[in-house]
């Protein structure tokens, strides 16, 4: 597989194609976007921001990096790699977007996995997240990915130019994804199932909210049909307080929990967890 640069980034202001110069991306209407020294580009205009620092905070990003680097969630990465790999048809140019890529663990694992495949596809990778801290962290994982600060609501990519969109534990924007996906393009949605991290939730919310909100029903995605659906479930032991805290901080539960619930979880030295995750592949209907 040959990794090529993404050539389908679009100006977030007027949607025109962005061309890369030495240190900038520029559209034909003269809007320019500097390439940061870490190698990413910020395509999130201020009018698309709903807060000063949207998305995950630096503390969440750091906690997630440390937790994921232990390899505890490796089976999730392995499953994503298998699914994407099976979707790539030989000899075709392919663009893959990780929409809400976080700190880049899963996407960089995918790049490494696909790089070892001996076929002639040209593949480009775009990692998009609204959190600048997450994207800065991502740039340390791979230099072969185009890392972009931007929003899933208006992904800064050309219409019908993306083959596969990964959306893992993230913010699904059907309208935004539909616009940039080629006809026949795929969305791979990875979401928690009801048993996911139930042990943590039982401690944080002793009386309520034990069940993880259910993943989106396939029928909710107009203009797409469900191609494939799989679930994986496994158990792991978190055997120290630091690991439990990293898991807590990287999840939304940290902010949702009461002070008491948070403290109870923060003080744990050991926690057995169930990981229960679903992988749904949707194909865009060709008109």
Ligand X SMILES: C[S@@+](CC[C@H](N)C(=O)[O-])C[C@H]1O[C@@H](n2cnc3c(N)ncnc32)[C@H](O)[C@@H]1O
Q: Which stretch binds ligand X (CB under 6 A): 29-37, 162-170, 232-240, 260-268?
A: 162-170
Beta carbon of residue 168, minimum distance to ligand X (angstroms, whole number) = 4
Among residues 131, 137, 146, 161, the one that binds ligand X under rule CB under 6 A: 131
CA angle 281, 183, 144 (to 5 degrees): 70
Beta carbon of residue 40, minimum distance to ligand X (angstroms, whole number) = 14
Among residues 25, 33, 147, 169, the one that binds ligand X under rule CB under 6 A: 169
Beta carbon of residue 92, minimum distance to ligand X (angstroms, whole number) = 25
Among residues 1, 6, 88, 101, the one that binds ligand X under rule CB under 6 A: 101
Q: Which is nearer to ligand X, 63 or 95 (CB)?
A: 63
Among residues 129, 163, 191, 276, the one that binds ligand X under rule CB under 6 A: 129
Among residues 53, 143, 153, 210, the one that binds ligand X under rule CB under 6 A: 153
Q: Does 105 bind ligand X (CB under 6 A)?
A: yes
Beta carbon of residue 139, minimum distance to ligand X (angstroms, whole number) = 14
For residue 220, the tally of other CB atoms under 10 A from its CB is 10
Q: Does 157 bind ligand X (CB under 6 A)?
A: no
Binding residues for ligand X, rule: CB under 6 A, are 55-56, 64, 100-102, 105-106, 128-131, 134, 151-153, 168-171
């Amino acid at each position: 597989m040959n990794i090529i640069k993404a050539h389908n980034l679009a100006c977030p202001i007027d949607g025109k194609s962005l061309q890369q110069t030495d240190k900038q991306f520029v559209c034909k209407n003269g809007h320019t976007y500097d390439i940061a020294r870490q190698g990413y580009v910020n395509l999130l205009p201020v009018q698309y921001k709903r807060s000063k620092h949207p998305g995950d905070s630096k503390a969440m990003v750091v906690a997630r990096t440390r937790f994921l680097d232990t390899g505890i969630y490796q089976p999730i990465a392995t499953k994503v790699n298998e699914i994407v790999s099976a979707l790539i048809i030989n000899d075709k140019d392919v663009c893959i977007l990780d929409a809400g890529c976080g700190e880049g663990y899963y996407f960089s694992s995918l790049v490494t996995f696909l790089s070892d495949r001996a076929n002639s596809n040209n593949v480009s990778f775009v990692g998009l997240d609204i959190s600048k801290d997450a994207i800065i962290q991502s740039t340390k994982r791979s230099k072969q990915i185009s890392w972009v600060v931007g929003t899933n609501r208006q992904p800064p990519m050309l219409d019908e130019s993306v083959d596969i969109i990964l959306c893992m534990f993230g913010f699904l924007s059907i309208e935004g994804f539909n616009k940039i996906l080629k006809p026949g393009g795929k969305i791979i949605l990875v979401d928690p199932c009801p048993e996911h991290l139930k042990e943590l939730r039982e401690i944080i919310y002793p009386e309520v909210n034990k069940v993880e909100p259910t993943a989106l029903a396939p029928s909710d995605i107009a203009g797409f049909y469900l191609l494939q659906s799989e679930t994986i479930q496994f158990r792991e032991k978190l055997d120290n307080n630091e690991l439990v805290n990293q898991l807590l901080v990287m999840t939304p539960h940290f902010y949702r929990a009461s002070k008491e619930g948070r403290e109870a979880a923060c003080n744990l030295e050991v926690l057995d967890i169930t990981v229960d995750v679903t992988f749904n592949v949707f194909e865009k209907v060709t008109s």
